[in-house]
Amino acid sequence: MDDFETRGAPLEYWFFKFNQGRLAFLVDFIIRRRQHQAEVRLSLWVDGNGRVEHAFSSSWRANRTMVTVAGCELGPRGSRGAVADVEWQLDYAAGSARIDPAPLPLKLLRPLDMQLLSRPQARFRGAVRVGEERFAISDASGLLCHYWGARLPERWCWISASDPEGGAVEAMLVQSRLWGSPYPRLDTGYCFVTEGPRTRLLISPLTALMGLRGSWHDFQLHARPLTGGERVRLDCNAAPEQYNDLGEGIRQTLLGACRLGGAAAVSGSAGLEVRGY
């Protein structure tokens, strides 16, 4: 099955994001089948000033090659659309890195709120227009992601950072219900790191244990391998006013700082998102 092919779940998201120059840009395509509603949601910043725009529709199309909502389209190689005074025409390549953290038993049994597939080394080109200003996008590093399931987890922390040379950090810590029951709940997560030719993927609680410390806008994420070896620590922060309010208790920025093991990694262009913290 293709990474972007629809799963037909009650709730399904496709999204991409990148930073280039003065623009930070994220687009969500969302289908809420139980509510018979779809949405295209933009979260963007120009010169550090953030805003959120929405386009809702009671109809949509989603198949193995394309998602279409409110006249906007997203496929495996590109996306086009317009919401409010923002318009985009983008092509992208997914890149070689692929994150698929759920083991086969979880894919089959589906006990968690959501499943995820992520391509953290995507490259973007094309154009974005915001109001009267046009931004040319040329080989911008970013992310493509698809996730689906029964409902949004009540609590999560997400980190995504990349650099022009292809380095990437992506991590997520989620508190999920099991088969929708209020209790028990399970903390799961993953941490993907590339450093030069080296790539690491830790999955909690299968191959590592992950934890979070700090506040919702200034925090540390830790991942400790179960079999010993090098721990991963991500120090992440952004000013509270740099976060966009996406609704549903979700706060997000693409202007964050992310440091790996205390060393400078990405400053001013990391994606950080929190819910329930």
User: Residue 77: which CATH number?
Assistant: 2.40.370.10
Q: What pLDDT is recorded for position 263?
A: 56
The residue that leads in pLDDT, 76 or 196, is: 76
On whether residue 1 sits in a domain, the answer given is no
Does 3 reside within a domain?
no
Of residues 158, 135, 182, the one with CA closest to residue 258: 158
- Answer whether residue 63 is part of any domain: yes
pLDDT at 112: 87
Confidence bin at 188 (pLDDT 50/70/90)? very high
Q: How many folded domains does the chain comprise?
A: 1
- φ/ψ region of 229 (left if φ > 0, alpha if ψ in -120 to 50, else beta) reads left
With bands split at pLDDT 50, 70 and 90, how would you rate the model's confidence at 198? Answer: confident
Is residue 180 one of the residues assigned to a domain? yes
Q: For the residues 93-106, what does the mean pLDDT come to?
A: 89
Query: Is 244 part of any domain?
Result: yes
The residue-averaged pLDDT of 171-177 equals 94
Q: Which domain holds residue 195?
A: 11-275
Whether pLDDT at 205 is above 60? yes
In a domain, 56, yes or no: yes
The answer to whether residue 64 is domain-embedded is: yes
> Where does the pLDDT of residue 196 fall: very low under 50, low under 70, confident under 90, or very high at 90 and above?
confident
Mean pLDDT (whole number) for 120-124: 96
| pLDDT higher than threshold 80 for residue 99 | yes
Among 119-128, 218-227, 264-273, the minimum mean pLDDT is found in 264-273
Residue 176 included in any domain: yes
